[in-house]
Structure 1
Amino acid sequence: MDLSSNQQPEFDYLFKLLLIGDSGVGKSSLLLSFTSDTFEDLSPTIGVDFKVKIVTIGGKKLKLAIWDTDVMLRCDALGMASCRVYDVTRRETFTNLSDIWAKEVDLYSTNQDCIKMLVGNKIDKESERVVTKKEGIDFAREYGCLFLECSAKTRVNVKQCFEELVLKILDTPSLLAGSTGVKRNIFKQKPQPDASTSSCC
């Protein structure tokens, strides 16, 4: 359907999401699994990767702009939620959550309402698991995060990860301010230094 012909918005909201985690935890594979419904065992991302997906969730047509990175980017350049991924088969990627991620949240967050999610990836390798689901749940409770385990390879819970993030954003009025728009070109927009509605955690 050509929405431009009747002057309808191309989407109801633009949501900017940050996917972050240690190298090799499967962020790029997770993003590819969500945006393309395919799986590839990808090489670690150098710098930043970026994908866009249009979805309909909660009765709203949403444009999701998702950054994939192993470094924390400036909050005013990104958006409303961060998804920190760890590998359930590598203890150090989980240990780094409290050593690194929690400090990054305090350092970079400019909006206390931004959504945080903790994702344990590679549950298809159950025989190699070293981080229990209970550990993930306990960490998420301590730091006020959503939590889910998934497998980018088998696509178990991949869609649910992003749906839960989006539904939480939709339920947070302060994050919706300024996220609507018609014919917005997110690639040409320059981040505003004092943008109070753009933050990441």
Structure 2
Amino acid sequence: MASGGGYGDANQKIDYVFKVVLIGDSAVGKSQILARFARNEFSLDSKATIGVEFQTRTLVIQHKSVKAQIWDTAGQERYRAVTSAYYRGALGAMLVYDITKRQTFDHIPRWLEELRSHADKNIVIILIGNKSDLEDQRAVPTEDAKEFAEKEGLFFLETSALESTNVENAFMTVLTEIFSIMNRKNLAAGENQGNGNSASLAGGKKIIIPGPAQEIPAKSKMCCST
């Protein structure tokens, strides 16, 4: 039986491990978003992330136990060379900007380009406008971000790590979409090879699949093999 990769939850059977990365400029609130999701915490005196850190949280999606392994990167330029390699194996990405700092939004296309050049082409991406509690200081109209997200094929939400607004929703949007893709991959692998263990979005390094996926929707776009 596959295990959860050795990061706690020793007594709990883990069906999947999904790696998700947080990227964006320094001080947009990536670490706070992660702290709110993983531990339901928020710190007003958060220090800049050095290099890479990660947290995990195990959730149930469609009766399956999913461990979300969330990686938080340093936004500062001097760490970029160190952190670019960590995109490998990521199935989801959260592209974060600060709604009160226009520059952080203007840098999003560059972050997206970097992500797409290092990550799996099927990666699930959500654009996040953080600090929505600071509406009176807003410098990035919601419509600008929505338009960019639609053009690039990204999910989009505005969040407030401080007030815990949409943080859970943002992570669940990404994780549920990854789960859906994973089930389709398992179904295809099961039909083509009769072995769900071969299904993977990114070489199988970050995903643990104990066997052929159950609970696949009856109505599927895939055609049954003979």
TM-score range relative to shorter protein: 0.7 to 0.9
The higher radius of gyration belongs to 2
Quote how far apart the aligned CAs of 1:78 are: 3.5
Partners of 1:9 and 1:181 within 8 A in 2: no
Candidates 83, 89, 94, aligned match of 2:105: 94
Q: TM-score, normalised by structure 2?
A: 0.71
Partners of 2:17 and 2:68 within 8 A in 1: yes
Q: Deviations over 1:19-63 (max 9, x none)?
A: 111000000011000111121121111111111111112322111
Partners of 1:19 and 1:84 within 8 A in 2: yes
Q: Distance in 1 between matches of 2:129 and 2:154?
A: 13
Q: Distance in 2 between matches of 1:9 and 1:43?
A: 33
Identity %: 33
Q: Could you tell me which amino acid in structure 2 is paired with residue 180 of structure 1?
A: I
Secondary structure of the corresponding residue to residue 84 of structure 2:
coil
1:56 paired with 2:60, answer: yes
1:30 paired with 2:41, answer: no
Partners of 1:120 and 1:150 within 8 A in 2: yes
Q: Could you tell me which amino acid in structure 1 is paired with residue 107 of structure 2?
A: N
Q: Deviations over 1:67-94 (max 9, x none)?
A: 0002452266441011110000000000
Single out whichever of 139-148 and 63-72 deviates more from structure 2: 63-72
Corresponding residue number in structure 2 for 1:126: 135
Q: Could you tell me which amino acid in structure 2 is paired with residue 49 of structure 1?
A: E
Quote how far apart the aligned CAs of 1:132 are: 1.1
Q: Could you tell me which amino acid in structure 2 is paired with residue 103 of structure 1?
A: E
Corresponding residue number in structure 1 for 2:24: 21
Corresponding residue number in structure 2 for 1:171: 180
Number of residues paired by the alignment?
174
Q: Could you tell me which amino acid in structure 2 is paired with residue 150 of structure 1?
A: T
Structure 2: runs of 5+ lacking an equivalent: 4-10, 187-198, 211-226
1:39 paired with 2:50, answer: no
Candidates 91, 101, 115, aligned match of 1:105: 115
Aligned positions of 1:127-146 closer than 5 A: 127-146=136-155
Task: Quote the RMSD (CA, aligned, Å).
Answer: 2.1
Corresponding residue number in structure 1 for 2:208: 180
Quote how far apart the aligned CAs of 1:171 are: 1.4
Partners of 1:89 and 1:130 within 8 A in 2: yes
Quote how far apart the aligned CAs of 1:160 are: 0.4
Partners of 1:15 and 1:79 within 8 A in 2: yes
Quote how far apart the aligned CAs of 1:103 are: 2.1
Q: Could you tell me which amino acid in structure 2 is paired with residue 40 of structure 1?
A: S
Q: Distance in 1 between matches of 2:38 and 2:91?
A: 19
Q: Distance in 2 between matches of 1:19 and 1:75?
A: 11
Q: TM-score, normalised by structure 1?
A: 0.80
Quote how far apart the aligned CAs of 1:170 are: 1.1
Structure 1: runs of 5+ lacking an equivalent: 183-201
